[in-house]
Amino acid sequence: MQRTSEILERLVENETAPTLTLGEIVARLRARSFGVLLILFAAPMLIPTPPGFSTVAALLIVLVALQFVALRRALWLPRRLARRPVQTAFLKRVVGWTTPKLRRIERWSEPRAVSFTRLRARRPLGLLILVLAAIMALPIPVIGNTPPAIAIVLMGFGMIERDGAFVGAGVAVGLLAIGLIAGLGLGLTAAVEAWVPASWLAMLPFAG
């Protein structure tokens, strides 16, 4: 079985075209497209990217997650999205940054707890990934992108390697990320209530 790092490397190996469409990428990945695309879309959140990229990546992850929930066996892309070009140089940068990290964790990975990587497990995973993608789309620096991205990469990696332990690790990191953001939201709400006069809050249209 091909390892995840090998799949990513072969995706851009000897590629001379300046761009690849999303449809071409999915066609090359075939059965591995779900897990690999999760890694390709989430991993850039761990490196500097252009402004607005996190929103685009989050929307693409949502598309994959929805098909997890629908229990689709093959990834479908809308025709217009399938024709969208991706810069080959950007892909090579993401692959070049990601594969050394993947090789390190591949040494600890093996097929185990495979029930967590099978089709019937995708629905709850898809729901969790939807929430994480929504967090990634929020304008929260570092904390809004990094933990959800790590969680999604771990889940994608675990699915490719048929390693339920890594899927479980991704779920744990994802739940931690959700708790972190929820705690941040509650903390900000408490701070606003403590510093803003109650009379001002009462003037808000949604105030009780």
Q: For the chain, which residues make up each domain, given as ranges?
A: 4-202
pLDDT of residue 204: 55
Q: Give mean pLDDT, residues 51-59.
A: 82
Q: Say if residues 53 and 44 touch (Cβ distance below 8 Å).
A: yes
> Residue 97's pLDDT band (boundaries 50, 70, 90)?
very high
Q: Give mean pLDDT, residues 49-60.
A: 82
> Residue 197's pLDDT band (boundaries 50, 70, 90)?
low
pLDDT of residue 39: 95
Measured from the Cβ of residue 127, the count of other Cβ atoms closer than 10 Å reads 14
What is the pTM (predicted TM-score) of this model? Answer: 0.86
Query: Is the pLDDT assigned to residue 83 strictly greater than 60?
Result: yes
| Alpha carbons 1 and 132: distance in angstroms, whole number | 29
Q: Give mean pLDDT, residues 104-112.
A: 94
Residue 20: strand pairing partners? 86
Query: Is the pLDDT assigned to residue 144 strictly greater than 80?
Result: no
What phi and psi, each to the nearest 5 degrees, are found at residue 112?
Answer: -160, 155
pLDDT in tens, 152-189: 999 999 999 999 999 999 999 999 999 988 887 777 77
Q: Which residues contact 164 (CB under 8 A, 6 or more apart)?
A: 112, 113, 114, 115, 116, 117, 158
